[in-house]
Amino acid sequence: MKIKLTFWKIVFLVIMALGLYSTFVRYYYGLGAISNMTDQFPWGLWIGFDCLCGVMLAAGGFCMIGAVYLFNVERLHSVVRPAVLTAFLGYLLFIVGLLFDLGRPWYIWHQLIYMNPHSVMFEVGMCVMAYTTVLFFEFLPNVLERFHLNAPIKWIKKIYPVLIVLGILLSTLHQSSLGSLYLIMPSKLHPFWYTPALPFLFFGSAIAVGLAMTIFESTQSAKAFGRHLELPVIVELGGALLVALWVNALLRFEDYFHRGMLGQIIKPSYEAYFLWLELTLAFVIPIAMLSFKKVRMSPQGLYLASIFTVLGFITNRLNIALTGFETYVGHHYLPKWTEFSVTLMIIAMGFALFGVAARYLPIFPEEEHAVQQSPRIEPGPVSVTAVLGHAGD
Contact 313, 56 (CB under 8 A): yes
Stretch that binds another protein, among 7-15, 33-41, 259-267, 282-290 (CB under 8 A): 33-41
71 part of the interface to another protein, by CB under 8 A: yes
Contacts with another protein, 124-153, as mask; x by CB under 8 A? -x----------------------------
For another protein, the closer CB: 161 or 232: 161
Among 31, 95, 231, 277, binds another protein (CB under 8 A): 31
Angle formed at CA 383 by CA 380 and CA 390, multiple of 5 degrees: 65
- Output the smallest distance, CB 118 to another protein, in A: 5
SS3 103: coil
3-state secondary structure of 365: coil
114: contact with another protein by CB under 8 A: yes
270 C-beta neighbours (distance < 10 Å), count: 12
Minimum CB distance to another protein smaller for 33 or for 371:
33
What is the distance between the alpha carbons of residues 43 and 122, in angstroms, rounded to a whole number? 17
| Closest to 201 measured CA to CA, from 248, 137, 245 | 248
111 counts as binding another protein under rule CB under 8 A: yes
Which residue stretches of the chain are H helix? 7-29, 31-34, 45, 54-57, 60-65, 80-101, 110-113, 120-146, 150-180, 198-224, 231-258, 262-265, 270-279, 285-291, 293-296, 299-318, 324-329, 337-360, 368-373, 386-389
Residue 26's SS3 state is helix
Please report whether residue 269 would count as binding another protein according to CB under 8 A: no
Contacting another protein (CB under 8 A), which of 11, 16, 18, 70?
70
Is 169 a binder of another protein (CB under 8 A)? yes
Is residue 80 close enough to count as binding another protein by CB under 8 A?
no
Find the binder of another protein among 16, 95, 96, 183 (CB under 8 A). 183
| Residue 118 binds another protein, judged by CB under 8 A | yes
- According to the binding rule CB under 8 A, does residue 32 interact with another protein? yes
Put residue 368 in one of left, alpha, beta given phi > 0 → left and psi -120 to 50 → alpha.
Answer: alpha
- The piece of 16-24, 158-166, 222-230, 297-305 that touches another protein (CB under 8 A) is 158-166
- The answer to whether 309 and 245 are in contact (CB under 8 A) is yes
Return the range that interacts with another protein (CB under 8 A); candidates 184-192, 209-217, 250-258, 357-365: 184-192
**Which residues of the shown chain bind another protein in the complex (CB under 8 A)?**
27-33, 37-40, 42-43, 69-72, 101-105, 107-108, 110-111, 114-123, 125, 161, 164-166, 168-169, 172-173, 177, 180-181, 183-188, 196, 199
